[in-house]
């Protein structure tokens, strides 16, 4: 499958133009476009510009209202409950993290939930927002309304890819950013493989009959199959924890009904944000975390591999793609051109 290389600034301009034509104001279009292109820069094409056609479908169907903002439903100081009003997650997610960061700096900790948000994009961005403020964060996320991940030993979808994320600032070195879907791979990576004409690794996907397949079409074209959780029963348990924490404890909604064909993506997220300075562990945390990371990275590497920490692959890919451009497969680019056409924006071929 052939690809084209596009400079990040040029790609951001195209995406922002399409979003503005679909009803977003300048600020919102910039935030969403920057988030999507940022995901591509980090090497997570699954959460990048390939999501734009689905966003536009949702916006035109009335399932993604533009120019919404985070609305506080509960504020006790260190406890916040925020409603995203179904708006772009890239906007309400950033606003919610800003609120949580301010409370953590005031109280030492903030437990903040964001419910009823459209797709939040790459969850690692919210951990990065916290570490940029010198704060530690943990994030539990669930995904509605389509069940596309099977439980351990199950044969059909009962929940979704339910991301988990942790961000920890490190002294004099880049932060630790752990961000992953609790399925074997993110659903968007299946879409990317389908558009590129690639097969999936074995033991990743079930077809609609509950049998193993390596053909990504079974998660793209109806009838849909289901991804498997990562790590067998352990990943399955973490996926359920994300569903319960984000969908129930946070005051959102859990996935417990079958048959939805809506393309809308609703995320709920429960985040714990900690200020080590107020907690009194800032110096110890910085010293011990840095010492541990150095100890781990000093392990003799295997042939042709480096010992990395979570966040390193994204930083390497950002540096490379920032210079050479972002690769976009031709099928994804055609989908973006079609999305632009639907809102009256001519995207170059």
Task: Give the model confidence (pLDDT) of 43-68 as tens digits.
Answer: 999 999 999 999 999 999 999 999 99
| Residue 343: closest CA among 37, 6, 57 | 57
Measured CA to CA in angstroms, residue 75 lies from 19, 82, 96, 103, 275 at distances of: 32, 9, 12, 10, 18
- Tokens 């964001």, located at residue: 114
Give 179's strand partners. Answer: 165
Task: Give the model confidence (pLDDT) of 72-104 as tens digits.
Answer: 999 999 999 999 999 999 999 999 999 999 999
pLDDT value for 172:
87
Task: Give the model confidence (pLDDT) of 222-267 as tens digits.
Answer: 999 999 999 999 999 999 999 999 999 999 999 998 766 677 899 9
Residue 101 in tokens: 């960061």
At the topology level, CATH places domain 69-183+229-298 in Ribosomal Protein S8; Chain: A, domain 1 (3.30.1370)
Question: Buried (b) or exposed (e) across 39-61, using 16+ Cβ within 10 A?
Answer: bbbbbbbbbbbbbbbbbbbbbee
- How far, in Å, CA of 162 to CA of 186, rounded? 9
Task: Give the model confidence (pLDDT) of 5-47 as tens digits.
Answer: 999 999 999 999 999 999 999 999 999 999 999 999 999 999 9
- How far, in Å, CA of 238 to CA of 159, rounded? 12
Give 109's strand partners. Answer: 274
Measured CA to CA in angstroms, residue 194 lies from 50, 162, 191, 330 at distances of: 12, 21, 5, 12
Task: Give the model confidence (pLDDT) of 276-293 as tens digits.
Answer: 999 999 999 989 999 999
Residue 28 in tokens: 């919102």
Question: Buried (b) or exposed (e) across 200-226, using 16+ Cβ within 10 A?
Answer: beeebbbbbeeeebebbebbeeeebbb
- Tokens 């966003």, located at residue: 55
> Is the Cβ–Cβ distance between 141 and 147 less than 8 Å?
no
DSSP structure class, residue 218 = G
At the topology level, CATH places domain 1-67+310-349 in Hypothetical Oxidoreductase Yiak; Chain: A, domain 1 (1.10.1530)
Domain with CATH 1.10.1530.10 in the chain: 1-67+310-349
Residue 224 in tokens: 């849909």
Question: CB neighbours of 62 closer than 8 A, spacing ≥ 6?
Answer: none
Q: pTM of the full predicted structure?
A: 0.96
What is the DSSP pairing of strand 205-206 with strand 226-227?
A: antiparallel
Residue 184 has pLDDT above 80, yes or no: yes
pLDDT value for 303:
85
Mean pLDDT of 190-196: 95
- How far, in Å, CA of 109 to CA of 313, rounded? 29
pLDDT band at 304 (very low <50, low <70, confident <90, very high): confident
């Amino acid at each position: 499958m052939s690809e084209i290389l596009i400079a990040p600034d040029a790609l951001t301009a195209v995406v922002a133009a399409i979003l503005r034509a679909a009803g977003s104001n300048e600020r919102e279009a910039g935030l969403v476009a920057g988030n999507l292109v940022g995901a591509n820069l980090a090497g997570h094409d699954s959460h990048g510009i390939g999501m734009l056609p689905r966003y536009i479908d949702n916006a035109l169907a009335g399932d993604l209202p533009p120019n919404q903002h985070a609305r506080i439903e509960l504020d006790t100081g260190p406890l916040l409950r925020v409603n995203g009003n179904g708006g772009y997650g890239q906007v309400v997610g950033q606003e919610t993290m800003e609120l949580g960061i301010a409370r953590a700096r005031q109280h030492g900790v903030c437990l903040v939930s964001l419910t009823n948000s459209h797709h939040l994009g790459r969850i690692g961005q919210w951990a990065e927002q916290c570490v940029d403020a010198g704060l530690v964060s943990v994030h539990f996320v669930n995904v509605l309304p389509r069940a596309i991940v099977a439980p351990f030993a199950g044969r059909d979808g009962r929940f979704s890819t339910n991301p988990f994320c942790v961000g920890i600032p490190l002294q004099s070195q880049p932060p630790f950013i752990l961000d992953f879907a609790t399925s074997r791979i993110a659903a968007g990576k299946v879409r990317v493989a389908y558009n590129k004409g690639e097969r999936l690794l074995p033991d990743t996907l079930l077809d609609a009959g509950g049998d193993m397949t390596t053909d990504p079409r079974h998660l793209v074209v109806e009838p849909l199959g289901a991804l498997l959780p990562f790590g067998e029963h352990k990943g399955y348990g973490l996926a359920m924890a994300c569903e319960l924490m984000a969908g129930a404890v946070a005051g959102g909604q859990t996935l417990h009904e079958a048959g939805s064909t809506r393309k809308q993506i609703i995320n709920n997220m429960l985040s714990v944000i900690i200020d080590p300075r107020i907690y009194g562990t800032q110096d110890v945390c910085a010293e011990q975390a840095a010492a541990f990371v150095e100890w781990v990275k000093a392990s003799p590497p295997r042939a042709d591999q480096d010992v990395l920490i979570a966040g390193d692959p994204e930083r390497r890919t950002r540096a490379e793609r920032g210079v050479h451009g972002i690769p976009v497969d031709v099928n994804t680019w055609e989908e973006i051109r079609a999305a632009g056409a639907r809102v009256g924006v001519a995207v170059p071929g």
